Amino acid sequence: MSDSEQQQLDAALDLLRRTDPRNVASNLALICRMNQPIAEELLSTVDQPLQVNTDLDNNKKYLCCDYNRDGDSYRSPHSNKYFPAIDDPIEISDKIRQLEVTLNAAFDTYRELYFEGGLSSCYLWDQEDGDNFAGVVLLQKVMKQSQWDSIHVLEVESVSGKEYSYKLSSTVILDIGHNSTKLGGSLTRQAEKKANVFEPQDHIANIGAFVEEMENRMRALLHEVYFGKTRDIIGDIRSIENLKEVRADEERKREIASGLGSRQAL
């Protein structure tokens, strides 16, 4: 990517951070149409609400993102096949596929416990270096006027012996609203931790606990920003109470307090 393309990409990312997050999908498509050289890089960088596809082998739904995409087809975590079918698809190793199957099952349990419904799909893929691999955990819940999408991207690297490092970049996209009040947006956070692996399945528990911890943290953050921060900002702009009266009250209190102070000094 040339320097000028990098600048255009930065401008596109900046624009998507400023324009209404509820329109991220259409704005992203619009920018890609206006500037095709940066389109591919932009599509793989920007998180947007997850698409749902159907695995025609077993009629099960699954979530799609750039990580399980090959051309216009998406790999299903259920059958490991691409829909629509493609010739010569990218394949993952048996070892990684086995882990992927277990990870999907474990996150089914997680999803039921925290979301009581919705969809979850996990994808893993091999990295060039030996035991290293990467993956993504996707979760989605759609309600009448609200939608939650979480995208947890993972990089797992062998450090030494039994020790592995887990790098996590998580984005939650949350649209929520009723009547004339609409809140939409996304937050992204990164974290890294190390943990031991004695047998391959330990990766599942390590990843599971790490994603759970991160998602709980992000839910708390969303709570604070969506319902606390926004209200504080509105309250800062306009006060329901009369500020002149508030200031006069404070002045009176100060006078009383200083009056008491001088009396005590006596």
Residues of this chain, 233-262, that bind another protein according to CB under 8 A: 233-240, 242-245
- Distant-in-sequence, close-in-space partners of 166: CB < 8 Å, separation ≥ 6: 154, 155, 156, 192, 193, 194, 195, 206, 207, 210
The verdict on 127 binding another protein (CB under 8 A) reads no
Residue with tokens 């900002």: 233
Least distance from another protein to the Cβ atom of residue 127, Å: 23
Q: Are 149 and 50 spatial neighbours (Cβ–Cβ below 8 Å)?
A: yes
Q: Are 141 and 129 spatial neighbours (Cβ–Cβ below 8 Å)?
A: no
The verdict on 196 binding another protein (CB under 8 A) reads no
- DSSP label at 166? E
Spatial separation of the C-alpha atoms in residues 118 and 108, rounded to whole Å: 10
Q: Judged by CB under 8 A, which of 180, 198, 262, 266 binds another protein? A: 180
The verdict on 187 binding another protein (CB under 8 A) reads yes
The verdict on 35 binding another protein (CB under 8 A) reads yes
The verdict on 120 binding another protein (CB under 8 A) reads no
The verdict on 177 binding another protein (CB under 8 A) reads yes
Query: Judged by CB, which is closer to another protein: 37, or 259?
Result: 37
Which stretch in 53-61, 155-163, 203-211, 250-258 sits in contact with another protein by CB under 8 A? 203-211
Which stretch in 51-59, 156-164, 214-222, 250-258 sits in contact with another protein by CB under 8 A? 214-222
> Checking phi first, is residue 193 left (phi over 0); if not, alpha (psi -120 to 50) or beta?
beta
Spatial separation of the C-alpha atoms in residues 83 and 145, rounded to whole Å: 29
Least distance from another protein to the Cβ atom of residue 13, Å: 9
Q: Judged by CB under 8 A, which of 137, 141, 152, 154 binds another protein? A: 141
Least distance from another protein to the Cβ atom of residue 257, Å: 25
Query: Judged by CB, which is closer to another protein: 82, or 121?
Result: 121
Q: Are 122 and 104 spatial neighbours (Cβ–Cβ below 8 Å)?
A: yes
The verdict on 30 binding another protein (CB under 8 A) reads yes
Spatial separation of the C-alpha atoms in residues 133 and 140, rounded to whole Å: 24
Q: What angle do CA 105, 106, 109 make, to 5 degrees?
A: 95
Question: By CB under 8 A, what part of segment 57-96 binds another protein?
Answer: none
- Distant-in-sequence, close-in-space partners of 236: CB < 8 Å, separation ≥ 6: none
Q: Judged by CB under 8 A, which of 174, 195, 197, 214 binds another protein? A: 174
Q: Judged by CB under 8 A, which of 143, 159, 191, 260 binds another protein? A: 143
